[in-house]
Structure 1
Amino acid sequence: MSASFSEQLIKEGFNLQSLRDGQQKVICPSCNHTRKKHKQEPCLSMLVDTQGAQWNCHHCNWTGSVWRDDSSQQVSFKQKPKFNGNVPTYPLSDEMLSWFINDRKITQEALDIAEICSADAFIGGKKQRAIAFLHKKDGQITNIKYRTVEKQFSQTSGGERLPYLWHLVDHSNEKLIIVEGELDALACLSAGIKNVISVPDGAGDKKMSYLEALHKEFKSFKQIVLFTDDDKQGIELREELARRLGKVRCWKVSLPSGHKDANDMLMQNGQVAVLDVIDNATPYPLKDLRETHDYVEDALRLLHNDVRTGLSTGIKAMDGSLDDGAGAYRVRAGELTLISGVPNGGKSELLDAIILGLAKNHAHRFAICSFENPVDEHINKLVAKLVGKPTWEVANGNKVRDDEWYPAVEFIQEHFYWIRSEDEPPTIEWCLNTATNAVQRYPNLRGLVLDPYNEFEHKRPAGYTETEYVSLMLASIKRWASTHGVHVWLVAHPTKLRRNMDGSFPTPTAQDISGSANFYNKCDNLLIVERDFTPNSLEVRVHVKKIRFRQSGKLGVIELKFDPNTGNYS
């Protein structure tokens, strides 16, 4: 009988108690006993997953792997301990109760509904009695956040990050109030508002993993009132919540001058004032109807030349130069960029470099619907660009090592999501619907790649010419981009071009794009990628043929150098 997975790991010298699922660094059993210095240094990189384990030591270069024979062979590795809810709680002290009722104007009824109590916690380097805000799920305590009257904070380790008071929410009620902190939620309870939650980790939480965990539950609410703090972080939180939950059902609260949040409103003006600002919340603008005041701030910024400039792609040459003939291209949210060029001219390669630069420099995330490469090959191409080494065999042997590959893949996993159609031919409409789900699920998803246009199935309505269909399709993409604040790149091949006398292809024009002249008319930006096919030439020219808004670049030619070993541009 063959050895089990765990027995094989033990045979290789690994201590199972030191291992866990996922990527990790551990002490190398091969070279640790020979080292005179740094014997406790974890120099071996190891990945453990459902298929098995792989490792590489950076000190002795020992590499190896052990595979599971079948999926039933599981090893229980160390996991971060989860909070079990077994914490002794006590009534509020007189000082705490007075602080809530007299200082913060929270009612006794609200304290009772939320089960506010006290508990012992380590805060400020010492163990002390503190106010305990109990986070519950299915009647069980899943997390506790602590604070002292003096505004010191702490929370349990390993607790589940769910919104505060989520266990009290009535899902048959179509209206939900979301506030920023526990005291704001208690202020709303004090004003008689029962369907209220506060975000679990304040405005600083960018991932908002609870939105994914409670994705189905949030769908039941038709009106979501966002009552965040009236400061920069609070406004950013409100805008991201609206983007992820869907602006069509989100309303926003505007606080009077001199008030910062719901609890501040309660303390200064009382319960009725809290109810009034919620009742006077305004809906996010509808897709097709705007009021003048919706544009006043933007118009004022434009008056003072405070325009929304596009973001750098991370390729310096694309930012523009003093050369009058040099083009420039920058990326602005809500726009559509069309990329074209001759076959094998590097359209997708350049696009990968652009979105990877935005991911690195601006933490943007992307949904990719690409039929040019299988996902595994696409990942390795991105790794090569990210690490600056090839992921394929080259003459000098300078291939990406495992210890370089794994961190790069972790970055890609954090910033790139793959739209794939396994069951039916993909359509543009299907892809946009899937991308909408991605925007709502993943924070800071700011880009969508459609590559290439001709691989999508196009269901042209009866009676429509191809030109009319393309116009309709591009208009739907642009509306989607504008609504969701996402930049869309569409790669489109030109029609079959006739070669020049020397065998080269002419540089395509906008009118050469297969399908319709509306590609040029409808897009915001148009890039034609031209590669020099002369042997050993690294030159690539990007012809910027259209820039609708000057903040996104200028017309002209961008001269680039392509590194075939890494896929990077300079």
Structure 2
Amino acid sequence: MKTFDDFGIDLRGRTGVEVKTTCPKCSPSRRKKNYPCLSVNTEKGLWNCHHCGWGGSLGHGEERRPEAPKIYRRPDYVLNRTDLPQAVVDYFAGRGISQGTLLRNCIGYGSQYFPQVEEERTCVMFPYLDGDEVINVKYRTGDKLFRLASGAQRVLYGLNDVDAVLIWVEGEMDKLSVEEGGFKNCVSVPDGAPTPDTKNYDSKFDFLDCEQLASVREHIIAVDDDAPGRRLQEELVRRLGRDKCLIVTWPEGCKDANDVLIKLGPEALQKCIEDAQPVPIEGTYSVTDFRSEILRRYEGEVRRGVSTGWPGMDGHYTVLEGEWTLVTGIPGHGKSEWLDALAVHLAQQHGWNFGMFSPENFPADYHSEKLMEKFIGKPFAAGPNDRMDVAELDRAMDFLADHFTFMMPESPSLDALLEQASRLVTRKGIRGLIMDPWNEIEHGRTAGQTETDYISLALSKIRKFCWAHGVHTWVVAHPAKLYKDKDSGDYPIPTPYDVSGSAHWRNKADNCITVYRHVKDENKPVEIHIQKIRKKFVGRVGMVELQYDRVTGQYRDYAHFTRAPIYSLQNRGSA
């Protein structure tokens, strides 16, 4: 068998089962060449790079090739400029920004083409620096036309000022304003805030894949007090972690840092930042904790679950961020197929990104083929039906690359999965997490701990993760053994109380769903039984029929109506 040396992996004399080292594929070309981004399991002979995605095993060789690095253009820009026209210096002075701050941040002035007006305009230039290297430049005209340098990498403005405590603002002018207030440890997002109706935030937050942020222990969020700014605040808190974030509240009549600087002065701005408040601790609340939610509702933004993509189901079940859903059903009845189809719908219609722990569907290329069939609506393999063509295959692979990440930690304990999912929230902005099935997770009960107690604690961890990160999690759990009805030959419809291990499955879940099909007559529609809904604006208890297409794995509305469920929970607890 080959050794790690055969693949260029240098363990540097380190011993143990789990070893961190540099990646031979991407480390030589990175700024931090000695950063240990490659995880190696010496016992199983496996490796995986968390930066470029290169992975494999000693037995089978490379299984995932490194992603081709993006080639970015470096804009021409002269540092240490001292040639700002007096009119520009006066303009900034009117905004409270001193010439010393302009010089420290290498602010420039010149002409650039603006596609919005299809002409060249004079503009202020804000260089985005990493050390002495100019990574990007933001150009801004006097009448507020903006553009970044074409083909340049989108990074945080102020990378050189990242520190253990970091202030986040929404624009370059606010970053300079915070410096006037006495804080250099401030960065601005490169593109401003996404609009509140933006579906897919993934590309908007590429700047979070940044080595400098790893050392930050506290984030102070000081973005604009308007609808886009509040949306940006929520997303930053979700990705950076609630426990690490403090929130700045601007005084009445001030929308952002520069407003405070102009109207109230640098001391007032300094005090606003020093008075930043932690994101509320779970289980304790005051009305100020709900300020952004209340303002959004006041402005007409009503919190709702998003559509499943099946109109007939949306009256009974929608998907709300921060909740978790139990999915159960008899083995072979299509739980995983239905859940995959739901994930594809959410990715297509709402731009959701997913972390997928689904070991029964491994290897990941097999799972990918099934998801692509659901996306395209044609089979992957050759056969009696028209298969997807090469262009459709390409489109499907791009779609999966944008929206799905397959998870398989070396030791898939619940803690390891939730830790990996937390990293995916930061890096990929996942809004959905699928754990399918529960019995493939490694469960380690402590001595004397009952299964019921363990499940209660485990489900509480899942709920805390969902709440902290604004992620919806689906957990697939099998029922205990059921027996066929002697007359019909069908199994009874499982309920949450039938799930192996504990009644906590039903009690702690926000939503409970059973996928059921008739074994004796496969032409009958698949029944989706919604057996618990915690929040009434998410849906209601009932049953929906879907038609399953075995060729493509897609589900379609069987009819745009629902009927009363054919099971009863009256003797097993209320819905």
TM over 0.5, shorter chain: yes
Matched residue SS, 1:553: coil
Q: TM-score by structure 1 length?
A: 0.79
- Given the alignment of the two structures, is residue 151 of structure 1 paired with residue 144 of structure 2, yes or no? yes
Describe the superposition over 1:141-167 as per-residue Cα deviations: whole angstroms up to 9, x where unpaired: 222222233333333222232222222
Tell me the amino acid that sits aligned with residue 494 of structure 2: P
Q: 1:552 to 1:229 in 2, by over 3 A?
A: same
Query: By how many angstroms is 1:200 displaced?
Result: 1.6
Describe the superposition over 1:490-542 as per-residue Cα deviations: whole angstroms up to 9, x where unpaired: 11111222223254322223332122222112212111111122355151011
Partner of 1:512: 498
Instruction: Indicate if the aligned counterparts of 1:510 and 1:517 stay in contact, CA closer than 8 A.
Output: yes
Partner of 2:5: none
**1:62-73 matched pairs, under 5 angstroms:** none
Matched residue SS, 2:386: coil
Q: Which range is displaced more, 476-485 or 82-91?
A: 82-91
Residues in 2 aligned to 1:385 and 1:141: alpha-carbon distance in whole angstroms:
44
Matched residue SS, 1:552: coil
- Given the alignment of the two structures, is residue 177 of structure 1 paired with residue 167 of structure 2, yes or no? yes
Residues in 1 aligned to 2:297 and 2:553: alpha-carbon distance in whole angstroms:
39
**1:476-515 matched pairs, under 5 angstroms:** 476-501=461-486, 502-515=488-501
Describe the superposition over 1:344-383 as per-residue Cα deviations: whole angstroms up to 9, x where unpaired: 1000111111111111111111111112212112111111
Q: Which range is displaced more, 135-144 or 292-301?
A: 292-301
Partner of 1:276: 271
**1:195-344 matched pairs, under 5 angstroms:** 195-204=185-194, 206=201, 207-214=203-210, 216-295=211-290, 308-320=303-315, 328-344=316-332
Partner of 1:383: 372
Tell me the amino acid that sits aligned with residue 389 of structure 1: K
Q: 1:334 to 1:222 in 2, by over 3 A?
A: same
**1:365-444 matched pairs, under 5 angstroms:** 365-374=353-362, 375-395=364-384, 397-421=385-409, 423-424=410-411, 426-443=412-429
Residues in 2 aligned to 1:520 and 1:367: alpha-carbon distance in whole angstroms:
24
Partner of 2:127: 134
Residues in 2 aligned to 1:141 and 1:304: alpha-carbon distance in whole angstroms:
40
Instruction: Indicate if the aligned counterparts of 2:72 and 2:151 stay in contact, CA closer than 8 A.
Output: yes
Residues in 2 aligned to 1:81 and 1:197: alpha-carbon distance in whole angstroms:
21
Aligned residue among 469, 479, 489 for 2:454 = 469
Residues in 1 aligned to 2:282 and 2:187: alpha-carbon distance in whole angstroms:
27
Unaligned runs of 5+ in 1: 1-49, 52-69, 72-76, 321-327
Of all paired residues, the percent bearing the same amino acid is: 37
Matched residue SS, 1:435: helix
Query: By how many angstroms is 1:181 displaced?
Result: 0.9
Instruction: Indicate if the aligned counterparts of 2:518 and 2:526 stay in contact, CA closer than 8 A.
Output: yes
- Given the alignment of the two structures, is residue 189 of structure 1 paired with residue 179 of structure 2, yes or no? yes
Partner of 2:103: 112
Query: By how many angstroms is 1:126 displaced?
Result: 3.5
Q: 1:351 to 1:196 in 2, by over 3 A?
A: same
Query: By how many angstroms is 1:81 displaced?
Result: 6.0
Partner of 2:22: none
Residues in 1 aligned to 2:353 and 2:394: alpha-carbon distance in whole angstroms:
19
Partner of 2:563: none
Aligned residue among 504, 517, 526 for 1:531 = 517
Instruction: Indicate if the aligned counterparts of 1:183 and 1:263 stay in contact, CA closer than 8 A.
Output: yes
Matched residue SS, 1:461: coil
Q: 1:488 to 1:183 in 2, by over 3 A?
A: same
Q: 1:78 to 1:279 in 2, by over 3 A?
A: closer
Query: By how many angstroms is 1:289 displaced?
Result: 3.4
Describe the superposition over 1:168-188 as per-residue Cα deviations: whole angstroms up to 9, x where unpaired: 44x3xx321111111111112
Instruction: Indicate if the aligned counterparts of 2:239 and 2:469 stay in contact, CA closer than 8 A.
Output: no
Instruction: Indicate if the aligned counterparts of 2:194 and 2:231 stay in contact, CA closer than 8 A.
Output: no
Query: By how many angstroms is 1:291 displaced?
Result: 3.2
Aligned residue among 559, 562, 567 for 2:545 = 559
Residues in 2 aligned to 1:218 and 1:434: alpha-carbon distance in whole angstroms:
17
Residues in 2 aligned to 1:259 and 1:302: alpha-carbon distance in whole angstroms:
21
Describe the superposition over 1:108-129 as per-residue Cα deviations: whole angstroms up to 9, x where unpaired: 2211211222233223434444
Residues in 2 aligned to 1:533 and 1:454: alpha-carbon distance in whole angstroms:
24
How many residue pairs end up in the alignment? 483
Tell me the amino acid that sits aligned with residue 212 of structure 2: E
**1:46-61 matched pairs, under 5 angstroms:** none
Describe the superposition over 1:446-476 as per-residue Cα deviations: whole angstroms up to 9, x where unpaired: 1111101111121112112212221221122
Residues in 1 aligned to 2:395 and 2:296: alpha-carbon distance in whole angstroms:
41
Q: TM-score by structure 2 length?
A: 0.78
Query: By how many angstroms is 1:135 displaced?
Result: 1.5
Residues in 2 aligned to 1:337 and 1:539: alpha-carbon distance in whole angstroms:
22
Instruction: Indicate if the aligned counterparts of 1:562 and 1:568 stay in contact, CA closer than 8 A.
Output: yes
Query: By how many angstroms is 1:287 displaced?
Result: 2.8
Partner of 2:344: 356
Unaligned runs of 5+ in 2: 1-52, 55-60, 63-67, 196-200, 557-575
Residues in 1 aligned to 2:498 and 2:267: alpha-carbon distance in whole angstroms:
65
Q: 1:304 to 1:275 in 2, by over 3 A?
A: closer
Instruction: Indicate if the aligned counterparts of 2:238 and 2:468 stay in contact, CA closer than 8 A.
Output: no
Q: 1:511 to 1:269 in 2, by over 3 A?
A: closer
CA RMSD of aligned residues (A): 2.9
Partner of 2:44: none
Instruction: Indicate if the aligned counterparts of 2:329 and 2:515 stay in contact, CA closer than 8 A.
Output: yes
Instruction: Indicate if the aligned counterparts of 2:358 and 2:436 stay in contact, CA closer than 8 A.
Output: yes
